Amino acid sequence: MNADDITFPDGESIEAKWVGIDKFIEMEKNEEIVPSFEMNEQEFKRAVKLLNEKS
């Protein structure tokens, strides 16, 4: 999926990008992650594995 294919509600101020686990953890530590979307390293790796299996 291309990040440009992601849509958001009108008027919502957002930014989306694909990142690897190291950048994700860095962003989480810097409180740059939306609070409703928190994922630990194990969950992130599982999600990546599932996505790769579908490819």
DSSP collapsed to 3 states, 24-54: HHHHHHCCCCCCCCCCCHHHHHHHHHHHHHH
**Averaged pLDDT score across all residues of the chain:** 76
Q: Residue 13 has what pLDDT?
A: 59
Position 3, amino acid: A
43 contacts 33 by C-beta, under 8 angstroms: no
* Alpha carbons 44 and 21: distance in angstroms, whole number: 7
- The number of domains in the chain is 1
**Domain assignment of residue 41, yes or no:** yes
Q: Which domain holds residue 36?
A: 18-55
| Within a domain: 1 | no
Residue 45 — pLDDT band, cuts 50, 70, 90?
A: confident
> Residue 29 falls within a domain, yes or no?
yes
Would you say residue 11 lies in a domain?
Answer: no
5 within a domain of the structure (yes/no): no
In a domain, 50, yes or no: yes
In this prediction, residue 1 carries a pLDDT of 64
Distance (Å, whole) CA 2 – CA 17: 9
Query: For residue range 8-38, what is the model confidence (pLDDT) as tens digits?
Result: 777 665 677 788 888 888 887 888 877 655 6
Assess if residue 52 is contained within a domain. yes
Say what the pTM is: 0.44
